[in-house]
């Protein structure tokens, strides 16, 4: 158990950081690329206060995709501000989503 906690500290996982997982559903691959480009622009404004992993393709079904995006930060407030901005972009693209907050 102690070994797992040490590993989490090294890779900056909870409880050593805050984490939000955004699950995006039923989006075509091309739409997701445009969405991801906008997200990357927002990330630059946060000056490395936010760590966002590359999107993970969860499922592909009939030319529609499900993606998971993991967002981490040691700064809870920055994380929430960033997440609100993502939600605005998601709503522009009329994307179905779920957000899990750790």
Q: What ranges do the domains of the chain cover?
A: 16-101
Find residue 20's DSSP bridge partners.
71, 101
Whether pLDDT at 30 is above 70 = no
Residues contacting 34, CB < 8 A, separation 6+? 93
> How many whole angstroms separate alpha carbon 51 and alpha carbon 40?
11
For 33-91, the pLDDT digits (tens) are 788 888 888 887 777 778 888 888 887 777 778 889 888 888 888 888 888 888 888 88
Q: What is the mean pLDDT of residues 17-44?
A: 81
How would residue 25 be classed by pLDDT, with cut points 50, 70 and 90? confident
pTM of the model: 0.76
Whether pLDDT at 1 is above 70 = no
Considering only the top CATH level, what class is 16-101? alpha beta
């Amino acid at each position: 158990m102690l070994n797992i906690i040490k590993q989490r500290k090294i890779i900056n996982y909870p409880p050593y950081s805050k984490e939000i997982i955004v699950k995006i559903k039923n989006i075509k691959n091309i739409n997701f690329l445009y969405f991801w480009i906008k997200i990357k622009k927002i990330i630059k404004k946060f000056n490395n206060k936010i760590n966002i992993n590359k999107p993970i393709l969860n499922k592909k079904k009939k030319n529609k995709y499900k993606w998971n995006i993991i967002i981490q930060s040691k700064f809870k407030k920055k994380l929430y501000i960033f997440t609100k901005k993502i939600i605005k972009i998601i709503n522009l693209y009329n994307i179905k989503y779920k957000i899990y907050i750790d």
